[in-house]
């Protein structure tokens, strides 16, 4: 079975990654009651995932670090361009 999140992925891989994030307390999960016709026909609950405060804090830190790396790379590139022009 394949799921699409803007690109084609294998559901098992997504599920594995979500379970890894859950074990690290970055996301939490909860069961939902069926809302679509398919789930009602199957009469199966499904699991939803949501980011936890720990996950949000960690994600914010990663984004901040990435911003610093990007800025450092940009400054390094600007220095090389300035030196090359002289």
Domain positions in the chain: 1-51, 53-86
Transcribe 14-30 into DSSP letters: HHHHHHHHHHTTSEEEE
CB 40 within 8 A of CB 6: no
Give the per-residue pLDDT at 1.
47
Per-residue pLDDT for 68 more than 90? Answer: no
CB 49 within 8 A of CB 31: no
Rounded to two decimals, the pTM is 0.52
In which band, very low, low, confident or very high, does the pLDDT at 25 lie, cut at 50, 70 and 90? very high
Per-residue pLDDT for 43 more than 50? Answer: yes
CB 54 within 8 A of CB 26: yes
Q: For residues 55 and 33, which has the higher predicted lDDT (pLDDT)?
A: 55
């Amino acid at each position: 079975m394949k799921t699409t999140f803007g690109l084609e992925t294998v559901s098992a891989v997504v599920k594995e990654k979500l379970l890894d994030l859950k074990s690290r307390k970055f996301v939490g999960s909860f069961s939902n009651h069926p809302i679509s016709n398919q789930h009602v026909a199957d009469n199966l609950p499904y699991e939803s995932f949501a980011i936890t405060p720990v996950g949000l804090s960690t994600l914010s830190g990663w984004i901040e670090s990435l911003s610093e790396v990007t800025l450092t790379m940009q400054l390094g590139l600007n220095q090389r361009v300035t030196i090359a022009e002289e």
